[in-house]
Amino acid sequence: MKNVCLTTRNLLSVTLKSCVSPTCLEVDFTNLYPFPSETKEAGTDNRNIVDDGKSQKLTHDDIKALKDKGIKGQEIVQQLIENSTTFRDKTEFAQDKYIKKKKKKYEAVITVVKPSTRILSTMYYAREPGKINHLRYDTLAQMLTLGNIHAGNKMIVMETCAGLVLGAVMERMGGYGSIIQMYPGGGPVRAATSCFGFPKPFFDNLHEFPLSKVQSLLSGTFSTETLPAEPEENTLVEEESNGLSEEKQSSLQEAEEEPAPEAPMDINPTEEQDTMDISAEDVEFKENKEKENKENVREKQMKQWERRKKLQEAAALLREKNADGLIVASKFHPTPLLLSLLEFVAPSRPFVVYCQYKEPLLECYTKLRERGGVINLKLSETWLRNYQVLPDRSHPKLTMSGGGGYLLSGITVVLEKDKSDSSNPEALKMEEPSSKRCKLQDLPC
């Protein structure tokens, strides 16, 4: 994503740590109001400058009064420079740093930009890294690259990162292909996915399948409850009319069975009219409430029917066992997840597993080597350090990220199920290359 900046040099771009779907806010503190090109008076060094808080003549109340008058940020910064007793004694680099610091505070320009994977991953990692399992944005980029995510793929995504990984995969695929999201619990979490602002066609090819039914699907015992026949409007209308008529008949029968009240001595016409109005309102209220209840039941049935239908569609896609890739980024132990989900991936396809710690991935690496069916296994960690790039002041920043997690990647191959027993020495002898056997036989005893 290109960031439009309205300045000449020394840009400072700071991303707001908040997101509003379907757009995000990015703040650029830029040099929108350049100062007059004057010859700067700068000192040779800063040895005689003492930070005692008395160098600025303007007080906090004076600055607040300037803001209340509606004075622009450029003028406030100019007055701060003029009222600083130590500004002219600072070096040129220190003066530029002072100006940028004050402009960052008093000249904020808000630009509304389109959300992207970079913006959302940076925001989540800075604000709430625990929700995305401390997945850093450069690690997410490597996952997309190692997983060979592109349009037209059939991907399996298992993640507990608030939908950030799923949204990144959807953005990379551009609405083409199909995605099967595996989720634990009662339903998938897509808080970050909704922040991308994807159009509705992007979700047409997004399927979901619960992890609790994976083993039954692999064993062939998977089955959903019998789907109800698709409801039709005519039958629903008939049921409503029948239900209303039956209720009316029952109310009439109850009215007939009730004993006739004794004849009142004197009845006021106004009181009789009031009681009739109240009874009519009660009947109308009951009918409206019954209609709402029936509509709610119908909506629940429709949603349940649609959910079962989508579940069957996802199961049909998984039964084909020809997925083009697998992405796992979850808080659960990766070994059982990966071993079960690799059954749905076609041969010669990549898979990527993310974990915040390396020990679970080491165990997963060992299990995969024992199991076979994978090649090019790699366990990697990304090392990231930001650099300041300025004229004559380019250097790595003093602070850096402690870690962005670990990645286990590889490629699937056809798993030979009828392997020879490794405990049989004759089988091991038959598996040895002929050249090696010859050399062993030629050795002296």
36 has a pLDDT exceeding 50: no
CA angle 308, 309, 312 (to 5 degrees): 85
CB 96 within 8 Å of CB 10: yes
pLDDT of 111-129, one tens digit each?
A: 888 999 999 999 999 998 9
Give the three-state DSSP class for 327.
strand
Q: What is the pLDDT of residue 277?
A: 63
The reported pLDDT for the residue numbered 250 is 52
Q: Using pLDDT thresholds of 50, 70 and 90, give the confidence band for residue 296.
A: confident
**Res. 278 pLDDT band, cuts 50 70 90:** low
Between 330 and 272, name the one with better pLDDT.
Answer: 330
- Cα separation of 298 and 379, whole Å? 51
pTM above 0.85, yes or no: no
Sorted by sequence, the CB contacts under 8 Å of residue 180 that are 6+ apart come out as 154, 155, 156, 157, 207, 208, 209, 314, 317, 318, 323
Q: pLDDT tens for residues 339-356?
A: 999 999 999 999 999 999
Q: CA 248, 251, 255: angle at the middle one, nearest 5?
A: 140
pLDDT over 60 (residue 207): yes
Looking at every residue in the chain, the average pLDDT score rounds to 76
Q: Name the amino acid, one letter, at 25.
A: L
According to the model, what pLDDT value does residue 226 have? 40
pLDDT of the residue at 3: 40
